[in-house]
Structure 1
């Protein structure tokens, strides 16, 4: 068995630690913060069994024009944010071509297919069932044409991926979610989606399970990682720590570390944000509000409104326009109460241009492993890709996941 250090204590890193530990390896996790308190904390809390197809870049001229002119709340952009990421965005556009996109959807769907079962293993081990609801998720539409288009597509999704979903009329949506004060055009119920009332708390439970089984989580700056002889070493709050293998699971910070090791990773930094409403009535299940591009989720701390994507320049003051627009619009058909005082939470989704996570052995370093780039699905797919990475590290690679491996990702990794 091997000694392994994992750089990163989010959902992906902690899931990797649990998986490798369960196979008899000695595992240490290194992060500058507490487990689950960065990107893993701020998401909408969904384990998305329906998300077989990743988010492609719009290619329809009308959709692109709406984005450029700010007529949609799904995507916000700035000149600095676009120019600073132009090479990665151009690749993202090219990979979103229908022919390329359909091919990569096959690999993504293979991962999504087992996501709930892979989580369930650790939910049980960590005694975290009180954080999980299994009653699905709603997409709600105010625009009849958008609803009808989505409803027509359900048959294709079922035939190709086996995704269960039911189209609902507006009255049924209101009966399922009494918080609505007016009747929408319709909705779609995705019954296989699970939701979590405290995403950061779930990672904390997983981390506690890892510790109870003998694992170590140390404070330290992963950017100090370096190779010394046959070992990987990093400075931690307990001094110099070393291991035979190192796994990079730093999400949006992974390219920064890998640049120091001689790798260039093209990544689209999709910024996201949420705002809390601590006195809002509880929803029965999370809702995607298609009109305003936000997800509404009842958390332990109140109602969370999570917005779409912002392409902003690094270091820019977070733009809250998406959340503010959505808050004004949502009040037309439900009353969430007053927003919680204080700063809006902001994080970054580490999205690779080909829309697949990067999982596998580093091309130019022995015993260095990549495990990042999950985009919108790090919370969903952490345990699943951790299982596949552990297989690779144990010398057993499933042919269905070769598309994730660094050796096959030359267009985004050099």
Structure 2
């Protein structure tokens, strides 16, 4: 089996890359050990974050750092045994999070973010997946005036600098929008320019079906069998191609390291659980409880509760203590009924210390391309990343300048 391009990784980024390449007339094989959308892309909040121009920074406030050091925070937990391995990454993350450096990063990052909604909508339309997409934004809700004021100032800055649209809701307006949320809330911010989806896994599968309709091939195989220049072993046999795109999310460094690239990739782990709503209760849009560090979202399966960040090694066993800690608070926020999943789902977000993805050609191998490291915004940036990589591979004028996301910046 011979193709123009192999795409390694069946998450939202890999599938989006495969679709865009196939649309441009290349013959493409998408290779993963599981069917598309069943690893990191399976479990997330379902947000397409047009407002996310400032990537999530490492806290630099001493009080916040001391709070996290106690390892009892609701939004961030860590595995003490992992800290020696993670310390070099975390130091670089902290370094890049200084406000002036973070602002510089945002200017590059925003060039991707500004296309996230439009690029998803374009794929949703041709994939026939409109039933999965919700427009109208999502909510940050607040219990204290101090936090509401702080977040409002940040939203105003994003609006002034990058055109992010939002509206403020007082307690009465919030109850009208979401009547089943706790009446103890003081108000909310709604990011009106963002979209969300009711089943991220189903969206990836819809894009994968589009890829197949365009003539692409989805193969079950082991990407770690990659051989220069270029072949992998799939269940159906040896697969060869002129070029390869590594889009394996948190597992990408298993390939890149073997090829000689020492990239600073780490993971932020997170959990989710689905719940039934109490009879008659309804949630209309995703809701982030800012002060408690969790999000609830209406999904096809039920109300999905997602946790914040767990810092640990990628393959360490699940330790869903954050989920247990925030579930009682989530039940106060919204009338959740019984759990619907047998066990909490664990996902791993692939992260770089400068908070930007790695998108572009490998400097030391011909026809090797990287597309990973999207952290919290994998779903958000999948389609625009797919378009950018496809444009670079085919020699088109790129929709954004790829230079800030180059591999050799590290």
Query: TM over 0.5: same fold?
Result: yes
**Structure 1 position 322, deviation (Å):** 1.3
Aligned to 1:321: 321
Q: Does 1:360 align with 2:360?
A: yes
Q: How does 1:5-404 map to 2 (within 5 A)?
A: 5-227=6-228, 231-280=229-278, 281-396=281-396, 398=398, 400-404=401-405
How many residues end up aligned between the 2 structures? Answer: 405
- Other structure's SS at 2:224 match: helix
Tell whether the 8 Å contact from 1:179 to 1:283 is kept in structure 2 after alignment. Answer: yes
**Structure 1 position 397, deviation (Å):** 5.8
**Structure 1 position 291, deviation (Å):** 2.3
**Structure 1 position 71, deviation (Å):** 4.8
CA deviations on 1:88-131 (whole Å, 9 max, x unpaired) are: 11111111112211111011111010111111111011100000
Tell whether the 8 Å contact from 1:388 to 1:397 is kept in structure 2 after alignment. Answer: no
| TM-score with structure 2 setting the length | 0.96
- Other structure's SS at 1:366 match: coil
**Structure 1 position 183, deviation (Å):** 3.1
| TM-score with structure 1 setting the length | 0.95
**Structure 1 position 279, deviation (Å):** 4.0
Instruction: Find the aligned partners of 1:330 and 1:279 in 2 and give their Cα distance.
Output: 12
Tell whether the 8 Å contact from 1:81 to 1:314 is kept in structure 2 after alignment. Answer: no
Instruction: Find the aligned partners of 1:362 and 1:84 in 2 and give their Cα distance.
Output: 25
Tell whether the 8 Å contact from 2:271 to 2:347 is kept in structure 1 after alignment. Answer: yes
CA deviations on 1:42-80 (whole Å, 9 max, x unpaired) are: 011111111011001001101111111135311111212
Tell whether the 8 Å contact from 2:314 to 2:348 is kept in structure 1 after alignment. Answer: no
- Other structure's SS at 1:348 match: strand
Instruction: Find the aligned partners of 1:388 and 1:314 in 2 and give their Cα distance.
Output: 28
Instruction: Find the aligned partners of 1:252 and 1:19 in 2 and give their Cα distance.
Output: 22
Instruction: Find the aligned partners of 2:252 and 2:377 in 1 and give their Cα distance.
Output: 16
CA deviations on 1:206-248 (whole Å, 9 max, x unpaired) are: 0001101110000000000011xxx400000110000000000
Structure 1: segments with no counterpart, 5+ residues = none
CA deviations on 1:30-52 (whole Å, 9 max, x unpaired) are: 00001001111101111111101
CA deviations on 1:342-388 (whole Å, 9 max, x unpaired) are: 11000100011111110111011111000100111010101101111
Q: 1:126 to 1:396 in 2, by over 3 A?
A: closer
Q: 1:317 to 1:400 in 2, by over 3 A?
A: same
Instruction: Find the aligned partners of 2:341 and 2:122 in 1 and give their Cα distance.
Output: 37
**Structure 1 position 395, deviation (Å):** 2.5
- Other structure's SS at 2:202 match: helix
Instruction: Find the aligned partners of 1:22 and 1:147 in 2 and give their Cα distance.
Output: 44
Instruction: Find the aligned partners of 1:104 and 1:81 in 2 and give their Cα distance.
Output: 27
Tell whether the 8 Å contact from 1:107 to 1:401 is kept in structure 2 after alignment. Answer: no
